[in-house]
């Protein structure tokens, strides 16, 4: 999944628009972010990719880039 595709999915699923720079920012610094969105992203990403994500690692992530890597960046 490309960076653009990943950010598009985040925007679609949680309604927040982030720039590529935001990927590496800590969730605490992302305006509007809520930890409950991680759960939404997990189901959306798994639905999109058809693959299971390592959920514990997603839950431990502190930035979107980590999740993007777990999905498999391309």
Partner 1 sequence: MSEGARRAGEELAALHASGRLAERYPEVRGLLAALDEETGEWPPAALRRAGTVLARLGHEAVLAEHPDTPCVTVGITGSFTLQTLVAPLTAQLARHGLLLRPHLTGHGQFALQLSDPSSELYRAAPEVTLCVLDADVVFGRVPPPWTAADVAAAAGEVAALVEELAGVQGTGRLVLNTVPLPRERAAQLVDHRSRTELAIAWRAFNTRLLELGLRDPHVTVIDLEPLLGSVPRLNDPRTAAYAGTAMSDELLASYAREVGHLVRAMRGQTAKCLVLDLDGTLWDGILAEDGPAGITMAGGYRGAAYQSFQRVVKQLAAQGPLLAVCSKNDDSAVREALRDHPDLLLRPDDFVSVSASWNPKPEGVAAIARQIGIGVESLVFVDDNHAERGLVRMALPEVTVVAVDAAEPALHVERLLADGWFTTFEVTGDDRARTARYRAEAARDGFRSQVSSAGDYLAGLGVRVAVTRPGPADIARVAQLTQRTNQFNLTTERLDPAAVARRAADPDGLVLAVRSADRFGEDGLVGALFARWEGAALVVDNMVLSCRVLGRGIESAVLHELVAHARDGGARAVRGRFRPSPRNGKVRDLYPDHGFAPVTPRDDGEAAYEHDLTDHPHPAPHVTMDWRLEGQTDDRDGIPGPRTAGGRAVLQS
Note the Cα 37 to chain centre separation in Å.
9
25's tokens: 């920012």
Least distance CB 36 / partner 1 (angstroms): 5
Least distance CB 15 / partner 1 (angstroms): 4
Site string for partner 1, 35-74 (x = CB under 8 A): -xxxxx-xx-----------xx--x---------------
Residues of this chain, 13-42, that bind partner 1 according to CB under 8 A: 13-15, 17, 32, 34, 36-40, 42
Q: For residues 10 and 18, is the Cβ–Cβ distance under 8 A? A: yes
Residues contributing to the site for partner 1 (CB under 8 A): 12-15, 17, 32, 34, 36-40, 42-43, 55-56, 59
């Amino acid at each position: 999944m490309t960076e653009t595709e990943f950010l598009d999915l985040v925007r679609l699923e949680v309604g927040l628009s982030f720039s590529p720079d935001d990927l590496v920012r800590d969730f605490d610094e992302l305006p509007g972010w809520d930890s409950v969105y991680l759960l939404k992203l997990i189901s959306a990403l798994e639905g999109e990719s058809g693959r299971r994500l390592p959920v514990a690692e997603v839950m431990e992530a502190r930035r979107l880039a980590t999740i993007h890597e777990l999905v498999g960046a391309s």
